[in-house]
Amino acid sequence: MSDLHEKGLPKNVIFQKLKTRLQQDLTYMSGRILGSMCTEPHSFAKRVYMQCLEKNLGDPHLFPATAELEREVIRMFGSLLSNPNAYGYIVSGGTEANILALWTARNLAKRKKHEVIASASSHFSFDKAADLLGLKLIKIGLNSRFQVDIKAVEESITPNTVAIVGNAGTTDLGVVDSIPELSEIALANDVYFHVDAAFGGFVLPFLKSQGLQAPAFDFRFPGVHSITIDPHKMGLAPIPAGGILFKDASIVEPIGMKVSYLAGGEANLATLVGTRSGASSIAAWALLMHLGRAGYEAVVKRCMKLTWMLAEGVRQIDGVSLVTQPTINVVGIKSDIIAVQLITKELRKKGWAISLFPHHIRIVVMPHTELSHVKAFLNDLRKITKE
């Protein structure tokens, strides 16, 4: 079935085929996806996105209005992250954002240094970035609260250190590293400091209004050079939409490229890809305008409420326990008596799409998760551990 047809098929035939074939995909709305950091995009953002598919920010002066909307999104993120002067881009995702950060750090160091200090729980995009950029990734162990061990970071700094990476919402447990201390170390050693808040960036700023403890992680700490914050995770924006923010525009100069021949006229671009979705920026802009701070607070409040219920439910099941008290809507479940691989296998047989880490199961309570899903999951978990 992979040959290109000589004669095209009618649209209705293809729609029918797609309907049948795509039925095999899981949907967020089924409630079965409990291990993803993505979710059903907001319906308003989807509508806006569909209207702007031709916009290409790879030739920004052809689409000056779109480029301005992207700048406004970045300014809104900047104000959310304590830096209205932040400069940056809406990119394809957290991976591209993290690559851009380390690329910038390496070139600022004039390619003379080659070590990056990250934590054992940093996302695998840093392994990719290091490999691409010819950098050595040094992974530091964690403390008892699953944050990067600060003393070990300090001891690992050498004259070759290009950058330090901190996490604000780790992939495996949603933990926030001590960003104030990492910032101090970066400043004291004159080293680039990148914060990966790909997931936490759309959660942490909205916790405080609910009386919840929210560790500070943003540009208020002067050592922070850049932050990843992804609209296509907790931002509810359509995929692809990652975000990279730099402290100011001057930082990215070493990766900027002047392209003279573009149809819209010469442009200075500091992104990895050329042709780039303008629809992603426009949809993110529209959604930020529509939801506002209160809208995101409501989304986060709901997710956190269900997170506490899930955590409490796990506590009450014999044989399993929480890896740590959740900071954000990521829950780690472990067991001292049954292999988590086995529990995962049984949960997956029952149709739950969950993430398996070496020593725990990860649940991400996304906006598509309902109370009924949490209850059904806990019931199945209880049954499995009993058996």
Binding interface with ligand 0PR (CB under 6 A): 36-38, 93-95, 98, 123, 125, 171, 196, 198-199, 230, 242
User: Given the complex with ligand 0PR, which of 218 and 230 has the nearer CB atom?
Assistant: 230
Among 114, 124, 140, 273, residue whose Cα is nearest residue 192: 114
Q: Which residue, 74, 129, 101, is CA-closest to 226?
A: 101
Minimum CB distance to ligand 0PR smaller for 95 or for 344: 95
Rank residues 102 and 317 by Cβ distance to ligand 0PR and give the closer one.
102
Q: Tell the smallest beta-carbon distance from residue 337 to ligand 0PR (Å).
A: 27
Task: Output the smallest distance, CB 231 to ligand 0PR, in A.
Answer: 10
CB of 25 to ligand 0PR, least distance (A): 12
- Whether the upstream peptide bond of residue 10 has omega within 30° of 0, thus cis, is no
Give the tokens for residue 224. Answer: 């922070």
Minimum distance, C-beta of residue 69 to ligand 0PR, in the bound complex (Å) = 21
Nearer to ligand 0PR, 192 or 199 (CB): 199
The β-bridge partners of 353 are 33
Shortest separation between residue 70's beta carbon and ligand 0PR, angstroms:
18
The two tokens of residue 327 are 């900071």
- Minimum separation from the CB atom of position 377 to ligand 0PR (A): 16
User: Exposure string (b/e) for 141-161, b if CB count within 10 Å is 16 or more?
Assistant: ebeeebbbbbeebbebbeeeb
**Cα 61 to Cα 76: distance, rounded to the nearest angstrom:** 22
**Tokens 């010469």 belong to which residue?**
266
DSSP state letters, 325-385: --SSSEEEEE-SSS-HHHHHHHHHHTT-B-EE-SS-EEEE--TT--HHHHHHHHHHHHHHH
Q: For the CB of residue 230, give the shortest distance to ligand 0PR in the complex, in Å.
A: 6
Q: In the complex with ligand 0PR, which residue's Cβ is closer, 63 or 89?
A: 89
Q: Which is nearer to ligand 0PR, 14 or 132 (CB)?
A: 132
> Which of residues 199 and 246 has its CB atom nearest to ligand 0PR in the complex?
199
What is the edge-to-edge ordering of all strands in the sheet holding 361-364?
A: 321-322, 330-334, 361-364, 355-356
Of 133 and 317, nearer to ligand 0PR (C-beta) is 133
Residue whose entry in the numeric block shows the structure tokens 């002047």: 258
Closest distance of CB 3 from ligand 0PR, Å: 31
- The CA distance from 193 to 246, in Å, is 11
